[in-house]
Amino acid sequence: MGSTLMSTRVSELERQRDKLYEEVTYLQSQSLRNNLIFTNIPEDNLTGNESAEVSEQKLRDHLKSALKLSTENVDAIRFDRVHRSPGHPITGKTKNIVAKFTIYEN
């Protein structure tokens, strides 16, 4: 009888875990709306923590050089925020830049 109760409890906990996983996945996807992730943009690792302003400027430079957007168009882009992906710097790897766009005026 004890093992049946234990098995029922384990099944219930597994269902709760699965439901929570789905909710977290949904919340993560919603938090990334209007965001774009940019990769392979050199990072300032001198301090190990690049400022948002530096990340934004590097992103703007990247939009002009790699994507060939005009300076006028890049200057018209408004960001809600720009930051590097969280985590500690890893030698030889560059953290992504996550940018949340606010307005793009043409």
Sequential pLDDT tens for the chain (106 residues): 588 889 999 999 999 999 999 988 888 777 767 788 999 998 876 666 788 999 999 999 999 999 999 999 999 999 999 999 887 777 778 889 999 988 655 5
Residue burial 15-40, b: 16+ Cβ < 10 Å; e: rest: eeeeeeeeeeeeeeeeeeeeeeebee
Q: Are residues 22 and 53 in the same domain?
A: no
Q: Are residues 52 and 86 in the same domain?
A: yes
- Full domain range(s) for residue 1: 1-31
Q: Are residues 6 and 51 in the same domain?
A: no
Query: Model pTM?
Result: 0.66
Q: Are residues 1 and 43 in the same domain?
A: no
Q: Are residues 7 and 57 in the same domain?
A: no
Looking at the structure of the chain, the number of domains it has is: 2
Q: Are residues 66 and 80 in the same domain?
A: yes
Q: Are residues 68 and 90 in the same domain?
A: yes
Q: Are residues 49 and 76 in the same domain?
A: yes
Q: What is the pLDDT of residue 103?
A: 63
Q: What is the pLDDT of residue 74?
A: 94
